[in-house]
């Protein structure tokens, strides 16, 4: 059964670094782009960025300066790093393969001062 499982720190302080990892089970990394998205409480979805099996990335221009997505094909995992977080980064973060309809369970990341 194909599924995504994600994990990472859920409580951060202002200026700290957010780190999340997503493992892909039951599907090869190849031929797909793997995305990170987020959803602030009560608000809509925002795409953060994506990576493919070759390590090629695309990022949301509004977040690009603080975001890095990496991949570990040996573990079938990809990761998100977001630096210098603020309260505005408080959101549920999802990993996903958008066009294939695969989504992680979502993790709430709260940034407090």
**Using CB under 8 A as the criterion, which residues of the chain lie in contact with other proteins when the complex forms?**
35, 44-47, 50, 58-62, 94, 96, 98-101, 103-106
Cβ neighbors of 20 (< 8 A, separation 6 or more) are 6, 7, 8, 36, 79, 80, 93, 95, 107, 109
What is d(CA 46, CA 29) in angstroms, rounded to the nearest whole number?
Answer: 23
By beta-carbon proximity to other proteins, the closer residue of 1 and 113 is 1
Cβ neighbors of 35 (< 8 A, separation 6 or more) are 47, 48, 49, 50, 95, 96, 97, 98
CB of 37 to other proteins, least distance (A): 8
By beta-carbon proximity to other proteins, the closer residue of 59 and 78 is 59
What is d(CA 60, CA 3) in angstroms, rounded to the nearest whole number?
Answer: 25
CB of 108 to other proteins, least distance (A): 11
- The DSSP call for residue 30 is T
By beta-carbon proximity to other proteins, the closer residue of 13 and 43 is 43
CB of 47 to other proteins, least distance (A): 4
By beta-carbon proximity to other proteins, the closer residue of 23 and 98 is 98
CB of 74 to other proteins, least distance (A): 26
């Amino acid at each position: 059964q194909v599924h995504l499982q994600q994990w990472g720190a859920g409580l951060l302080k202002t200026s700290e670094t957010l780190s999340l990892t997503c493992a892909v089970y039951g599907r090869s990394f190849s031929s797909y782009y793997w995305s990170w998205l987020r959803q602030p409480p009560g608000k809509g979805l925002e795409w953060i960025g994506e990576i493919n099996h070759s390590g090629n990335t695309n990022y949301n221009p509004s977040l690009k300066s603080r975001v890095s997505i990496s991949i570990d094909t040996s573990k079938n995992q990809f990761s998100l790093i977001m630096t210098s977080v603020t309260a505005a980064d408080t959101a549920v973060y999802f990993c996903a393969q958008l066009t294939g309809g695969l989504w992680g369970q979502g993790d709430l990341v709260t940034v407090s001062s």
